[in-house]
Amino acid sequence: MSEQETFNWMNESADVVEGLKFDTDVDYTFRLDSVDPTIVKRKDGSTVLRNDGTPSKKLALKWVELSTKVGFKMDLWVNDRERVNPTNPEIESDNVKLSRKLGYSPILGGKFSFGDFLKVGMEIEAKLVPVVSKDAKGNERTFNNIDQSSVRLVGDAPDTQAQIPDMPSSDIVKELQTLAKGCKRLSDLTAKINKLGAKDPAKFQLLQPAMQLAEQGVIKFS
Protein backbone atom coordinates (compact mmCIF):
# COMPACT_ATOMS: atom_id res chain seq x y z
CA MET A 1 0.00 0.00 0.00
CA SER A 2 1.48 3.34 -1.07
CA GLU A 3 1.72 6.18 1.40
CA GLN A 4 -0.85 8.93 1.08
CA GLU A 5 0.57 12.18 -0.27
CA THR A 6 0.19 15.28 1.87
CA PHE A 7 0.66 18.99 1.39
CA ASN A 8 1.45 22.02 3.53
CA TRP A 9 -2.00 23.39 4.23
CA MET A 10 -0.47 26.52 5.84
CA ASN A 11 0.66 27.64 2.40
CA GLU A 12 -2.73 27.13 0.72
CA SER A 13 -4.93 30.07 -0.20
CA ALA A 14 -7.88 30.79 -2.46
CA ASP A 15 -9.18 33.85 -4.27
CA VAL A 16 -12.14 35.50 -2.53
CA VAL A 17 -14.93 36.37 -4.97
CA GLU A 18 -18.51 37.50 -4.64
CA GLY A 19 -21.07 34.74 -4.13
CA LEU A 20 -23.42 33.77 -6.92
CA LYS A 21 -26.51 35.95 -7.17
CA PHE A 22 -29.61 35.29 -9.24
CA ASP A 23 -31.99 38.00 -10.45
CA THR A 24 -35.67 37.08 -10.20
CA ASP A 25 -36.44 39.26 -13.24
CA VAL A 26 -34.07 37.36 -15.55
CA ASP A 27 -34.91 34.31 -17.65
CA TYR A 28 -32.34 31.55 -17.07
CA THR A 29 -31.75 28.40 -19.10
CA PHE A 30 -31.88 25.07 -17.28
CA ARG A 31 -31.12 21.51 -18.36
CA LEU A 32 -32.86 18.52 -16.75
CA ASP A 33 -30.01 16.63 -15.10
CA SER A 34 -31.87 13.84 -13.31
CA VAL A 35 -35.29 12.50 -12.29
CA ASP A 36 -35.37 10.70 -8.95
CA PRO A 37 -38.59 8.77 -8.14
CA THR A 38 -39.12 8.90 -4.39
CA ILE A 39 -41.48 7.28 -1.88
CA VAL A 40 -42.30 10.07 0.58
CA LYS A 41 -41.09 9.42 4.12
CA ARG A 42 -41.54 11.24 7.41
CA LYS A 43 -38.59 12.19 9.60
CA ASP A 44 -39.13 9.06 11.67
CA GLY A 45 -38.78 6.91 8.55
CA SER A 46 -42.46 5.99 8.22
CA THR A 47 -44.13 6.17 4.81
CA VAL A 48 -46.65 8.91 4.07
CA LEU A 49 -49.84 7.29 2.77
CA ARG A 50 -52.45 8.66 0.41
CA ASN A 51 -56.18 8.53 1.13
CA ASP A 52 -56.44 5.14 -0.57
CA GLY A 53 -53.72 3.69 1.67
CA THR A 54 -51.00 3.54 -1.00
CA PRO A 55 -47.60 5.24 -0.54
CA SER A 56 -47.26 8.90 -1.53
CA LYS A 57 -44.87 9.27 -4.44
CA LYS A 58 -43.07 12.18 -6.02
CA LEU A 59 -40.47 12.89 -8.67
CA ALA A 60 -37.47 14.91 -7.50
CA LEU A 61 -36.23 16.77 -10.58
CA LYS A 62 -32.78 18.37 -10.66
CA TRP A 63 -32.40 21.24 -13.14
CA VAL A 64 -28.93 22.71 -13.74
CA GLU A 65 -28.62 26.38 -14.68
CA LEU A 66 -26.31 26.35 -17.69
CA SER A 67 -24.17 29.45 -17.07
CA THR A 68 -23.39 28.78 -13.41
CA LYS A 69 -23.87 24.97 -13.20
CA VAL A 70 -25.96 25.51 -10.05
CA GLY A 71 -28.62 22.87 -9.42
CA PHE A 72 -32.24 23.61 -8.59
CA LYS A 73 -34.80 21.08 -7.38
CA MET A 74 -38.40 20.72 -8.51
CA ASP A 75 -40.72 18.24 -6.82
CA LEU A 76 -43.71 16.84 -8.73
CA TRP A 77 -46.31 14.77 -6.89
CA VAL A 78 -47.50 11.58 -8.56
CA ASN A 79 -51.31 11.47 -8.48
CA ASP A 80 -53.92 8.87 -9.39
CA ARG A 81 -55.87 11.47 -11.36
CA GLU A 82 -54.96 14.71 -13.13
CA ARG A 83 -57.55 17.39 -13.90
CA VAL A 84 -57.81 18.44 -17.56
CA ASN A 85 -59.97 21.36 -18.65
CA PRO A 86 -58.72 23.19 -21.78
CA THR A 87 -61.63 25.66 -21.68
CA ASN A 88 -60.81 26.61 -18.07
CA PRO A 89 -57.03 26.09 -17.78
CA GLU A 90 -56.90 27.84 -14.41
CA ILE A 91 -58.55 24.82 -12.76
CA GLU A 92 -56.29 22.20 -14.34
CA SER A 93 -53.87 20.22 -12.16
CA ASP A 94 -50.45 21.78 -11.58
CA ASN A 95 -48.83 18.79 -13.32
CA VAL A 96 -51.08 19.30 -16.35
CA LYS A 97 -50.24 23.00 -16.49
CA LEU A 98 -46.51 22.20 -16.43
CA SER A 99 -46.85 19.44 -19.05
CA ARG A 100 -48.55 21.84 -21.48
CA LYS A 101 -45.64 24.26 -21.08
CA LEU A 102 -43.36 21.36 -22.03
CA GLY A 103 -45.28 20.61 -25.23
CA TYR A 104 -47.43 17.76 -23.93
CA SER A 105 -51.16 17.52 -24.67
CA PRO A 106 -53.12 15.54 -22.05
CA ILE A 107 -56.46 14.27 -23.34
CA LEU A 108 -59.60 13.95 -21.24
CA GLY A 109 -60.17 10.27 -20.53
CA GLY A 110 -56.64 9.33 -21.57
CA LYS A 111 -53.55 8.46 -19.52
CA PHE A 112 -51.17 11.04 -18.08
CA SER A 113 -47.52 9.95 -18.13
CA PHE A 114 -44.53 11.96 -16.89
CA GLY A 115 -42.30 9.88 -19.14
CA ASP A 116 -43.95 11.36 -22.22
CA PHE A 117 -42.70 14.89 -21.56
CA LEU A 118 -39.83 14.70 -19.05
CA LYS A 119 -36.58 13.79 -20.80
CA VAL A 120 -33.17 13.99 -19.12
CA GLY A 121 -31.16 16.54 -21.12
CA MET A 122 -34.15 18.65 -22.15
CA GLU A 123 -33.82 22.41 -21.67
CA ILE A 124 -36.19 25.08 -20.45
CA GLU A 125 -36.14 28.80 -19.85
CA ALA A 126 -37.67 30.09 -16.63
CA LYS A 127 -37.45 32.73 -13.95
CA LEU A 128 -36.54 32.09 -10.33
CA VAL A 129 -38.75 32.92 -7.39
CA PRO A 130 -37.69 33.31 -3.73
CA VAL A 131 -39.12 30.70 -1.36
CA VAL A 132 -39.10 30.91 2.43
CA SER A 133 -38.90 27.69 4.46
CA LYS A 134 -38.50 26.88 8.15
CA ASP A 135 -36.28 24.26 9.75
CA ALA A 136 -37.23 22.07 12.72
CA LYS A 137 -36.34 24.90 15.11
CA GLY A 138 -38.50 27.41 13.29
CA ASN A 139 -35.60 29.32 11.74
CA GLU A 140 -36.46 30.82 8.37
CA ARG A 141 -34.32 30.26 5.30
CA THR A 142 -34.82 31.88 1.89
CA PHE A 143 -33.72 30.18 -1.31
CA ASN A 144 -34.49 30.46 -5.01
CA ASN A 145 -36.67 27.97 -6.84
CA ILE A 146 -37.83 27.65 -10.44
CA ASP A 147 -41.07 29.52 -11.08
CA GLN A 148 -43.15 26.85 -12.83
CA SER A 149 -45.59 29.44 -14.21
CA SER A 150 -42.73 31.01 -16.23
CA VAL A 151 -41.40 27.77 -17.75
CA ARG A 152 -40.87 27.69 -21.53
CA LEU A 153 -39.55 24.74 -23.48
CA VAL A 154 -36.29 25.25 -25.39
CA GLY A 155 -36.16 23.32 -28.65
CA ASP A 156 -38.71 20.91 -30.09
CA ALA A 157 -41.64 19.54 -28.12
CA PRO A 158 -41.85 15.77 -27.60
CA ASP A 159 -43.54 13.89 -30.43
CA THR A 160 -45.87 12.06 -28.04
CA GLN A 161 -49.14 12.93 -26.39
CA ALA A 162 -51.57 11.21 -24.08
CA GLN A 163 -53.11 8.12 -25.61
CA ILE A 164 -56.60 8.68 -26.98
CA PRO A 165 -59.04 6.51 -25.01
CA ASP A 166 -61.26 3.97 -26.71
CA MET A 167 -64.69 5.16 -27.80
CA PRO A 168 -67.41 4.14 -25.30
CA SER A 169 -69.78 1.41 -26.47
CA SER A 170 -72.85 2.38 -28.48
CA ASP A 171 -75.09 1.45 -25.53
CA ILE A 172 -73.25 3.89 -23.25
CA VAL A 173 -73.38 6.60 -25.93
CA LYS A 174 -77.14 6.18 -26.30
CA GLU A 175 -77.67 6.17 -22.52
CA LEU A 176 -75.66 9.36 -22.08
CA GLN A 177 -77.38 11.08 -25.01
CA THR A 178 -80.72 10.26 -23.39
CA LEU A 179 -79.56 11.57 -20.02
CA ALA A 180 -78.22 14.73 -21.66
CA LYS A 181 -81.65 15.75 -22.94
CA GLY A 182 -82.68 18.93 -21.18
CA CYS A 183 -79.15 19.59 -19.89
CA LYS A 184 -77.67 22.99 -20.70
CA ARG A 185 -74.09 22.12 -19.78
CA LEU A 186 -71.85 19.24 -18.80
CA SER A 187 -72.26 20.00 -15.08
CA ASP A 188 -76.03 19.37 -15.43
CA LEU A 189 -75.33 15.96 -16.93
CA THR A 190 -72.77 14.99 -14.28
CA ALA A 191 -75.25 16.08 -11.57
CA LYS A 192 -77.79 13.67 -13.07
CA ILE A 193 -75.25 10.86 -13.11
CA ASN A 194 -74.24 11.53 -9.50
CA LYS A 195 -77.90 11.42 -8.46
CA LEU A 196 -78.33 8.06 -10.20
CA GLY A 197 -75.09 6.84 -8.66
CA ALA A 198 -76.43 7.49 -5.17
CA LYS A 199 -78.94 4.67 -5.82
CA ASP A 200 -76.86 2.56 -8.17
CA PRO A 201 -73.05 3.01 -7.71
CA ALA A 202 -72.45 1.41 -11.14
CA LYS A 203 -73.80 4.63 -12.70
CA PHE A 204 -70.72 6.52 -11.49
CA GLN A 205 -68.83 4.75 -14.29
CA LEU A 206 -70.71 7.00 -16.73
CA LEU A 207 -68.89 10.13 -15.51
CA GLN A 208 -65.65 9.58 -17.43
CA PRO A 209 -67.27 8.70 -20.79
CA ALA A 210 -69.68 11.62 -20.31
CA MET A 211 -66.77 14.08 -20.09
CA GLN A 212 -65.02 12.38 -23.01
CA LEU A 213 -68.08 12.47 -25.29
CA ALA A 214 -68.87 16.06 -24.33
CA GLU A 215 -65.35 17.16 -25.29
CA GLN A 216 -65.60 15.29 -28.58
CA GLY A 217 -68.97 16.88 -29.35
CA VAL A 218 -70.83 13.56 -29.42
CA ILE A 219 -73.13 14.77 -26.63
CA LYS A 220 -74.97 18.01 -27.36
CA PHE A 221 -76.42 20.36 -24.78
CA SER A 222 -79.47 22.57 -25.37
pLDDT in tens, 142-199: 888 999 999 999 987 655 555 555 678 888 889 999 999 999 888 888 888 888 888 8
Q: CA-to-CA distance for 58 and 40, rounded, in angstroms?
A: 7
Overall average pLDDT of the 90-113 stretch: 89
Prediction pTM value: 0.63
**For the segment 189-218, what is each residue's pLDDT rounded down to a tens digit?**
888 888 888 888 888 888 878 877 887 778
Confidence of residue 7 (pLDDT cuts 50, 70, 90): confident
Q: CA-to-CA distance for 53 and 171, rounded, in angstroms?
A: 35
Compute the mean pLDDT over every residue in the chain, rounded to the nearest whole number.
85
> What is the torsion angle, in degrees rounded to the nearest 10, for the CA atoms of residue 126, residue 26, residue 34 and residue 106?
0
